[in-house]
Structure 1
Amino acid sequence: MMVSAPPRVMTSLQGAIKNLNYPLPLPPESNQIWVITIREGLFVLLKVLNLDIAVSTRTGCHGDYLLILDGPHSYSDVITKLCQRQSHVGLVSSGQDLRIELHSEPFGAAAGQHTSLQAYYKARDVNECLVNNGGCAHACKNIFGSRLCGCRYGYRSIDFSKCEDIDECDNHNAGCAGICVNTEGSFYCACPEGYQLAPGNKTHCIDEDECSDPSKNSCEQVCVNIQGGHRCSCEEGFLLDEDGVSCGMLFNCSRNFTHEYAGVIQSPIIPDNIRTSVNCFWNIITYKDLTLTLRFLFRDWTPTQGCANYINITANQGAIRMREESFQICSGVLELADYHSDSDLLEMQFHSEWPHSSNFTLEYYTRENVIDWSKQCGGTLKGSGVLQSPGYPKFYPPNTKCLWQAVGAVKLKFHLFDLEREEGCLYDYLEVRDGEGVIGTNIRRFCGRKSPPEVLLTKTGSLFIEFRSDSSIQGRGFVAEFHIETI
């Protein structure tokens, strides 16, 4: 006798569907029914994860089967009827209802013995905006189970679907500092005659820049725009004439001194009628193997509050060593003093404020850039790298001593070896001490006529390499690759 339980009604937006006794099969001669009913505006998305029905000798799905109907009733339209093993089958209802019937036959021909069902469903939204824009005048936004209408910027919503223009100028002139002009869906700001909108700002007005208009710019060198007009200025080393337009050269202000060994710089004589600030710039450039020294003589160097008159000095490398360890001089009358730098290029700025009463004389001269190579070479060798004589690729310097140490099995491969040529290796040489301690147990000394082998191996675990040069003859030096392995 066929057993049919009342349909199980499911109204949640998602859920699981399993046959009675799952994971055991549905009892023979049984019907199990599910009716899914969700709110209007949604579809039902069904996913059959696993449907297990034994193979039947009968045809036409007259044995065990799964029936899915597009609606809540037994007479609703059939979506599909399944009577074979299936997995991961998906389908969608046309409305808010879906009916699922699982049927098993009485015993016989193994019918009903293996019939089981596992599935799940979830609500699927209907996009109302796809039909006639959802009835919205401007924007339609689909939401779960419904839709919302919106208006473009510059419009307001009427009756939740229509839109009308907003006159932004009625609200505090829409933020315009000058004139507000309303347009359909928007507005723009304008300015009175003689003004223009500020760049990057669509609301505020600024004075028109006469300097950018050749017909209004009468300045000889520099034009500075001001509110309601403009004024003229001059480039470095020039002063503005009394006509307010022309520029005259200021003697001794701004110059480049290039590849000179010595020279003198005088502060400029600034006329009394110049009440603006004056800036002068000098660049002193000498040769790369020289450094610059400055000697100042300050005359009538008047102290000013807040360092109004000052001299700034900067170098392109190293650091300028001054008595006060400062790059700026702005004190009162100073004695004659030398300031030594480590640089071959110095930049100097002189800034003077009215009444321009500070004056100075600057002498500069050069010195040889002497490098103490003994402090620049030597050390501990680790891993792999390149060992080379100091100053390479130039000739190695005279009177130099370098000491390198390595711990481990060392391999040296020489690519270049060019030291002073003499028999006893007493003047310029490279000495390798293989063994414990600085003295070492295995001493090998190489020079011009006693070159090292192309590859030099040590295995004692400790290596000292010493390079020495005297004051007479120099060579190209040496270059060797090294590789150190831990013992």
Structure 2
Amino acid sequence: MKSACSYDYVLIQNDEEMEERYCGHYNSLVYTSTTNRIKVLFVSDNAIEKSGFMAYFITDLDECRNNNAGCQQRCTNTIGSYQCECENGYVLADDEHNCKEGGCNLQLYDPEGEITSPNYPLNYPKGKNCNWHFVTTPGHRLSFSFEEFMFEEHNTCKYDHIEIFDGGSNDAISLGIFCGSDVPPNLQSSSNQLFMTMHTDASVDRRGFKAFYSSICGGNLKAEQTVGFIYSHARYSDGKYEKKMRCEWRILAEPNHGVNIRFAQFDLEREANCEFDYVEIYDGDEILEEHRVARYCGDKLPPSFTSTGRNLLLLLITDESEEQKGFIAEYQSTIPGTIAPFTSTTRRPPREPIINND
């Protein structure tokens, strides 16, 4: 069965512009429309037959539209109910509607967002040690910038300060220690993780900080014996890729090994010569015509490829017109001339099913 579900499938249409197509095997699937209408279309061809599907539907009132359902900060509608949520640095109170100051050891998995120091815009508390661990989609990096920054002054930032690390813990390489009133420079991670610590002592307090983080496609990746993953865009599970993207992934294997890459899902704008949205594979770490292996678009899974040396480059280009679902690629280190097993189960974002190809 093709990755774009071209043979037997169920099409769910929310409005004229929003639709989702499903095929393969699902243990469960929940679809919520954004309007008061939904259309379900079932299509089958004259070849393979399967057992089909069973579905239930209910109507749901969005309680969040009425005075935020009484939630002090954020309200999320759920099927048959709603849920109050709090901004970073706060936790839900016992009444499940109001928010109170919470701990400051946070793990953040959204591809982009805003964070502030505890109590912001008021002064941060004294005697605090806080940690923020940022994790974005595999195959992407994190960009971090401060809008406001105000800490106790010291020439070596001995007292109140923040420190940012290029990785998933404070054992990673430090990108800098910052204090005072000078806004730190914009920072970027080399992988899909960043780690930030904040320390305040028992004396002076200041306003603290307000910062933003976002995801950047591309980067330098290391191929190992275990499978690594690349997603075409950071919000792969939520929608289509963006327009005017240019993403370069440079993958390096261990000495005397090559990089094997295969696509688990693939859906780019279809065009006979792949001139609009496309993926290119290069046998090396430079974008040179003599190193280009192939260019792919459409919805057919490209064949797997193993580089002749340690380096492989994957390039994604999208234009300003049509968008599609994108791709999931898997890569690992392998000995050139052999076939990588890819025995591990493909990891996908929440709500992203595994499509079984017959």
TM-score w.r.t. the length of structure 1 is: 0.29
TM-score w.r.t. the length of structure 2 is: 0.37
Of the two, which has the highest radius of gyration? 1
Larger RCO (alpha carbons 8 Å, 6+ apart): 2
